Amino acid sequence: MPETPSANLFDLIAARRPRSDQLALETSDATRLTYGALFARSAQAANALVALGVEPGDRVAAQVDKSADMIVLALACLRTGAALLPLNTAYTLAELEHFLGDAQPALTVCRPDGLDDIRRLAQKLGLPAVESLGVAGDGTFAERIAASPAEFATVARAPDDLAAILYTSGTTGRSKGAMLTHENLSSNALTLVDAWRFTAADRLIHALPVFHTHGLFVAVNVALLSGATMIFQNRFDPGAVIHTLPEATSLMGVPTFYTRLLEHAGLTREVCRRMRLFVCGSAPLLAETHAAWRERTGFSILERYGMTETNMITSNPYDGERRAGTVGFALPGVSVRISEAETGAPVPSGEIGVIEVKGPNVFRGYWRMPEKTAQEFRPDGYFITGDLGQVDADGYIHIVGRAKDLVISGGFNVYPKEVESEIDSIEGVLESAVIGVPHADFGEGVTAVVVPRPGVILTEAAILSALTGRLAKFKAPKRVFVVESLPRNAMGKVQKATLRETYKDTFR
């Protein structure tokens, strides 16, 4: 019988045969790793994992700062057949206790200055091994890497074997561990390489965190599968990005990257002269930002849509119109449909419903939560994203918000995005968020939280009067709060749950 080829994502990356002297990664502290060096260091790290007792199928948790060695660790996990469990660097010890207790990792890797605390926590939870990894090639795990041989036979994996567990941001209740397989990650990254035309000539500015699907899987896997070079910046700094733009070809970012870059006088057509692609996702990009970017740089931002559980689902086209305010079309090999949230029945064409998705990109379920997993899938295998969307006459998909953010006022559905768009078009408004909060008569009262442009003074009365006649009465906000900024998480998503909590007593 012929041997089944391994579906290990690392084997797939190696099989693309990047030139060994080609630069894979450079960091702001001048670390430069060629593909040859990256592969060799990942072999050393894989040997270090095995020496620490990590076996295929085990979990390796990592709460470390962004660095070249974090990527080395991620590749080493693939090579040993372990599942990487990256953790948001902002999580506190109390939060870590939940994640580590739930995932029971065979190894936990933390920042050097957290080693004592995490060792104590691991002891309490009965976890076997804890190591540290710093940003400058330091830490106990880095020492083990350096002391290990640079040859390692990558463990063969089946398509369905786990490659990673990513905890969802969990805005409602406990966050859940999304189980992602080698096939999930490789099928999606290969699709994106083609869809976005990545090649070894690309130099990608990577300023995203590496504990989230966007920075870890979209950016890193697409770059490595195309033999491209990543320019790592440990945190997003508009000045640093602008400084690097002249030597880069591509950028992947969240909407706040683009709005903050637009505020910087250094953003010009000239600095973008070698660029070919700006990708945006993880939160909605305002049509106005899309237009301003085009005006300033000559480029149309390519907006795409995805989530931790599904990898990327849709993308605007590389060729053809990138339509502002939309997330484009289903990616090749990915099936998308719009259904009635309650029943799962198809909605008439053009109407709003919940977005459902099926394909090799969709995760295998939530770690140790079979009931929760079952609730999120339809009987025919479609995953219910919880995002509300509609398809326009040309087939472009529009996202109108999360199902749980839908406001129901007096029995009528109010889609926050529609109200936000009207508010955002008022002179002097920078951005807004619309939420529903408890209201004795209406069930929920539409409430708007509005951020003025710098130097502009806005009042509730002025906003309400500007909205008169532009929205059906039931959609119009009953109260407007003017604030300096909206609460956002690390990926730039507006935290509507926080806003609902802040304004919960508005109508009481």
Q: Which of residues 458-497 bind ligand AMP (CB under 6 A)?
A: 491
For residue 490, the minimal CB distance to ligand AMP (Å) is 9
Query: Which positions from 146 to 185 touch ligand AMP by CB under 6 A, shown as an x/- string?
Result: ----------------------xx----------------
| Region near ligand AMP per CB under 6 A, out of 129-137, 280-288, 317-325, 333-341 | 280-288
282 binds ligand AMP (CB under 6 A): yes
For residue 405, the minimal CB distance to ligand AMP (Å) is 9
Among 422, 479, 432, CA closest to 453: 432
For residue 431, the minimal CB distance to ligand AMP (Å) is 14
Q: 3-state DSSP call for residue 427?
A: coil
For residue 257, the minimal CB distance to ligand AMP (Å) is 13
For ligand AMP, give the closer residue by CB, 35 or 217: 217
| Region near ligand AMP per CB under 6 A, out of 82-90, 102-110, 292-300, 304-312 | 304-312
Query: Which positions from 239 to 278 touch ligand AMP by CB under 6 A, shown as an x/- string?
Result: ----------------------------------------
98 binds ligand AMP (CB under 6 A): no
For ligand AMP, give the closer residue by CB, 144 or 214: 214
In the list 98, 260, 402, 478, the residue contacting ligand AMP (rule: CB under 6 A) is 402
Among 363, 366, 234, 365, CA closest to 310: 363
For residue 310, the minimal CB distance to ligand AMP (Å) is 8
Map tokens 């998480």 to a residue: 489
For the chain, the helix, strand and coil percentages under 3-state DSSP, each to the nearest 5? 30, 25, 45
- Residue 481 Cα distances to 378, 434, 444, angstroms: 39, 10, 16
For ligand AMP, give the closer residue by CB, 213 or 373: 213
| Region near ligand AMP per CB under 6 A, out of 35-43, 117-125, 299-307, 343-351 | 299-307
How many residues bind ligand AMP, per CB under 6 A? 18
For ligand AMP, give the closer residue by CB, 18 or 306: 306
Both tokens of 91, joined, read: 């999580």
**Residues 285-289: contacts with CB under 8 Å, at least 24 apart:** 285/255, 285/258, 285/324, 285/325, 286/255, 286/259, 286/325, 286/424, 286/431, 287/324, 287/325, 287/421, 288/424, 289/255, 289/258, 289/259, 289/262
420 binds ligand AMP (CB under 6 A): no
Both tokens of 251, joined, read: 């950028």
Query: Do β-strands 443-452 and 429-439 pair in parallel, antiparallel, or remain unpaired?
Result: antiparallel
Q: Which of residues 307-346 bind ligand AMP (CB under 6 A)?
A: 307-308, 327
R_g (Cα) of the chain, nearest Å? 23
| Region near ligand AMP per CB under 6 A, out of 116-124, 151-159, 306-314, 426-434 | 306-314
Both tokens of 483, joined, read: 């604030």
Both tokens of 344, joined, read: 């799962």
| Region near ligand AMP per CB under 6 A, out of 3-11, 94-102, 301-309, 476-484 | 301-309
For residue 24, the minimal CB distance to ligand AMP (Å) is 25
Q: What is the widest separation between alpha-carbon atoms in the chain?
A: 76
Torsion angle of C-alpha atoms 487, 284, 303, 198, degrees rounded to 10: 30
Contacts of 433 (CB under 8 A, 6+ apart): 416, 420, 448, 449, 486, 494, 496, 499
The span from the first CA to the last CA of the chain, in angstroms, equals: 72
Strand partners, 355: 338
For ligand AMP, give the closer residue by CB, 79 or 290: 290
297 binds ligand AMP (CB under 6 A): no
In the list 303, 356, 422, 431, the residue contacting ligand AMP (rule: CB under 6 A) is 303
For residue 365, the minimal CB distance to ligand AMP (Å) is 15
For residue 21, the minimal CB distance to ligand AMP (Å) is 35
Both tokens of 201, joined, read: 């000539």
**HEC profile for 93-159?**
HHHHHHHHHHHCCCEEEECHHHHHHHHHHHHHHCCCEEEECCCCCCCHHHHHHHCCCCCCCCCCCCC
In the list 80, 311, 385, 390, the residue contacting ligand AMP (rule: CB under 6 A) is 385
| Region near ligand AMP per CB under 6 A, out of 59-67, 96-104, 236-244, 279-287 | 279-287
CB 168 within 8 A of CB 147: no
Per CB under 6 A, residues contacting ligand AMP are 168-169, 213, 281-284, 303, 305-308, 327, 385, 387, 399, 402, 491
